[in-house]
Amino acid sequence: MKQADFDKKTAIEQLVDVMTMLRNPEFGCPWDVEQTLRSLVPFTLEEVYEVVDAIELGDTVELEEELGDLLFQVVFYSQIAKEDGDFDFEGVAKAITQKLLRRHPHVFPEGSVEQFGVKTTLATDEVAANWDKIKRQERIEKAARKSQGQQTQQSSAASKDDAFESALDTVPAAMPAVMRAMKLQAKAAKDGFDWDELKPVLAKLREEIAEFEEAIEQNDVQAINNELGDILFSAVNIARHVDVDPETALRGANQRFSARFRWIEEELSATGLKMNASSASELNRLWEKAKQSGL
């Protein structure tokens, strides 16, 4: 491809072309050529968190770069899928565009941009309710499409079980655990499976802690693992009830811990001491001092 021809293309066209060349079996990058849809997953998650980090730092220059890295992941997946004959980036872009038109009938009547320009009278909660309703209908239609043409020799009872759709089925199993716990609880709450106030949620956490302590006393490894998971799940539930994002809250705790730990390191270093040579009481004193300093 001539550079002049490349320069005439849009930025997204250039990105897709570069990705295609990187995946060229003969002249491309060996690492890029070896990647699969599954092998890219860890890198995608890393890029997502780097985007979040840039936002939290308020660094828009870094954010622009990280969003580019995240977009590259989408183009990478699309290129692999294109090579496998499944779909391409054009299809991905068209699919999300149509989904947005379909899920915003209050902005695009009849799912058409031609009707855009009429100010909506819906409140935010009504928009969210409509969004969920449309998504439910999409799931029904998707399930119907999947069932078409499928031949099965299973019993009618088994077929009925396979066709059953749980309210939780749409929460991806691969989500980070804290985020998935939040989503599962929110989905269940929409169907009425929830406490009406915070008090019993706090009581549940205390109950889980007591069960965890009992598991430790019994030295039951599996129970310890299970009960600790229940404690974390209950903590997420508390966050949801007080309208706090648990991931954001935990990230804040991580940042405070890192800042205080660094402060202690610097304090000890200034006096020629090391962390592992200090007593627990001295470290605790410094920790409290770090907290009092505003960290």
Structural domain includes residue 113: no
Total of domains in the chain: 3
pLDDT tens-digit series, residues 163-184: 567 888 878 787 788 989 999 9
Q: What is the pLDDT of residues 206-235, one digit of tens each?
A: 999 999 999 999 999 999 999 999 999 999
Low-confidence ranges of the chain (pLDDT < 50): 151-161
- Whether residue 265 is contained in a domain is answered as yes
* Domain that residue 219 falls in: 177-244
Write out the two tokens for 179. Answer: 């985020």
Residue 188 domain-assigned? yes
Q: What confidence score (pLDDT) does residue 25 get?
A: 94
Residues 254 and 280 in one domain: yes
Residues 195, 256 within the same domain: no
pLDDT at 134: 79
Inside any domain, residue 108: no
**Residues 217, 274 share a domain:** no
CA gap 70, 54 in Å, rounded:
13
Provide the pLDDT for residue 148.
65
Answer whether residue 272 is part of any domain. Answer: yes
User: What pLDDT score does 157 carry?
Assistant: 43
Last residue of a domain, which of 66, 87, 103? 103
Tell me, yes or no, whether 258 and 222 share the same domain: no
Q: Does residue 111 lie in a domain region?
A: no
Query: Does any domain span residue 185?
Result: yes
pLDDT at residue 137, as a whole number? 78
Quickly count: other Cβ atoms within 10 Å of residue 122's Cβ.
13
24 & 55 share domain: yes
Q: What is the CATH number of the domain that holds 30?
A: 1.10.287.1080
- What is the predicted pLDDT for the residue at 159? 45
Burial of 66 (0-12, 13-18, 19+ CB in 10 A): buried
Judgement on whether residues 284 and 232 belong to the same structural domain of the protein: no
274 shares a domain with 197: no
Residues 233 and 258 in one domain: no
pLDDT value at residue 122: 74
